[in-house]
A and B are shown apart, each in its own frame.
Chain A
């Protein structure tokens, strides 16, 4: 019985490994450029960091690239316990570090991915001070630490798809799109902090000649994400998992896109080796889907089916709400492509969270 269970557990991770292989298979040149690299990721125990770890493990095991990965995070103990298949590896090291405090990278670090931050909007509401400090002091300290590396090849600032402001039109957002946001707004503190972080990165790039690219993530999806994270897709899955009606805020016409973890990780690594100095790259899926269709897609997976309920503020009827990226520039510039489409991504995520193995953990 024990053996069967552990096989099931390994099966789950085998699928993730296959996802990673698919995500980079079409870019052998970029893959090779990562050989023997030492990569540091701040916020390394988050969603992106964990998928990067999965990707590095895959690259090392399958192609023997001998990449070293250092994950820096405020709390490393929980991650170590949760993902021993990653934390027990020799090529992955964890460093407990709060980015609000000045620190150093390992001296032979070549690549830095600054992913430390707090994207959870519940915390934006309850502790915006910590969010802003982590964002602004965090990037300052990380750039400072990177600046002291003799062998730094590239630095990626993981920004946010929200920095462009709240769109006043429909359609995808390119990296050039920018909508005015009023200043001094409490609920926009995170966005303002992320915008400051992009400025600070530009300053280091110019003043210290550090090679930096920025990626702007839109919504990510996949295993390794906590269903507690307040994105629509998580709350729909959460509702469905407990057998309740899926409840949608609004009339269901809001549209978002969801990029699967393996593609998110590979596009980020690709930016490390193919990124242009000073460039900004949207990292997200271009395949938008309305909340209603998404809820229906998830419903189909459950038997007996959950219902769907909408909660529309009457005055908001007809107010269009879309937030998803145009990734033409990213795909052209980095040579990346989507290997896991929307339906597949939803399906994989659903199977991960509804698996009895997951419920146990």
Chain B
């Protein structure tokens, strides 16, 4: 009996980072239809940083959350609709309540890997509303497996039905993934998932290692559409899992068609590991910073790679874009002194 893997597809959410959250209505509609047709079980939509995150801090979204959720829901019949959300960016009253009304099925409540205790009320709200709730631990490479399990257990006690750990910086090597997933699978009684990023070219192999260690949920984005070096490439995952004897329920040819469609509609140039991506992966810094780092580096006349290593040194957390300006400012000032 083939082992089943639940694929969750954040193309229309994490991918939004790649286009500064400017995905159009047409793109949402076209991709939702293609994903459903291919049998993708879960499609995740929204601003790159999740529900309510459209902001000057992390970038304003072309479409409102309401628009995104309405058009996605309308174009997904069997496929489950999921959203990512980070407490502190969105509230239950203004954002989650409306998402429930708009027909979201799965609420993936995320926190930095040491801050799981901010997710209690949001997970509870999703559960009380009769929806599925996952706990998501971001930048999970920044803590030990033991601490990761502690945080995951908190989310489990809040009612999360699955825990997904993210390799937000694309920093993991396969052995590290194996160790963490094993620790989580052993210590939790709920499903465990993995969300890879491809900075160091290892997203697929990391995902395979995760599955072999007991993960049952894997995130993958079409053509790896995502910030910086991109996410784990969805159609590649489907192909690889099929060859390894795992069942994803996704039709290979149709997901390849979806890749072609994505290329035409919103992702003409597939992500790759640029020098900045490699550096951010090595520095262990959130890949989503890339565009802003590049822009700010140019503005202040400093090397973006220096910004990344400095952010890594300061252990910058996802969502701290304002720090980029400060670091650039400082590096520029230091450079001025060096020149004198």
Binding site for B on A (CB under 8 A): 121-122, 124-126, 186-187, 230, 235, 238-239, 242, 244-245, 247, 249-250, 311-316, 319, 321
Contacts and interface: CB of A to CB of B under 8 A. Distances in A.
B188 A186 contact: no
B150 A186 contact: yes
Contacts of A239: 130
Contact of A250 (B3, B159, B189, B214): B189
Interface string B91-108: 000000000000000000
B317 interface: no
B191 A313 contact: yes
Tier of interface size on chain B: 20 to 34
B180 interface: no
The residue in A186, A238, A312 that gathers the most chain B C-beta atoms within 10 A of its C-beta is: A186
A125 B161 contact: no
A120 to B, nearest CB: 9
Interface in B143-180: 150, 153-154, 157-159, 161-162
B192 interface: yes
Given A126-B117, A187-B153, A247 B189 contact: no
Nearest to B187: A187
10 contacts: A124-B157, A230-B159, A242-B130, A245-B130, A249-B161, A311-B161, A313-B162, A313-B185, A313-B189, A314-B214
A125 B185 contact: no
A315 B190 CA distance: 9
Nearest to A312: B191
Contacts of B25: none
Interface of B: 3-4, 116-117, 120, 124, 127-128, 130, 132, 150, 153-154, 157-159, 161-162, 185, 188-192, 214, 216
Nearest to B4: A314
Given A239-B130, A311-B190, A311-B191, A125 B3 contact: no
B4 A249 contact: no
Contacts of B120: 122, 125-126
A235 B161 CA distance: 13
Contacts of A321: 189
Contacts of B150: 186-187
A238 B117 CA distance: 23
A186 B127 CA distance: 25
Nearest to A121: B157
A314 B3 contact: yes
Contacts of A186: 150, 153
5 nearest A-B residue pairs (beta carbon): A244-B130, A125-B154, A313-B191, A315-B214, A125-B157
Contacts of A230: 157, 159
Contacts of B3: 314
B87 to A, nearest CB: 12
A356 to B, nearest CB: 20
B5 to A, nearest CB: 9
Interface centre among A122, A230, A311 (most CB of B within 10 A): A122
Nearest to A311: B161
A239 B124 CA distance: 12
Contacts of B192: 313
Contacts of A125: 116-117, 120, 153-154, 157-158
B161 A247 contact: yes
A251 to B, nearest CB: 11
Contacts of B162: 311, 313
Contacts of B157: 121-122, 124-125, 187, 230
Contacts of A314: 3-4, 191, 214, 216
Given A187-B153, A242-B130, A313-B192, 18 more contacts: A122-B120, A125-B117, A125-B120, A125-B157, A126-B120, A126-B154, A186-B150, A187-B150, A187-B154, A239-B130, A247-B132, A311-B162, A311-B191, A313-B189, A314-B191, A315-B185, A315-B214, A316-B189
Contacts of A313: 162, 185, 188-192, 216
A69 to B, nearest CB: 33
Given A125-B120, A239-B130, A249-B190, A315 B161 contact: no
Contacts of B185: 313, 315
B180 to A, nearest CB: 15
B135 to A, nearest CB: 11
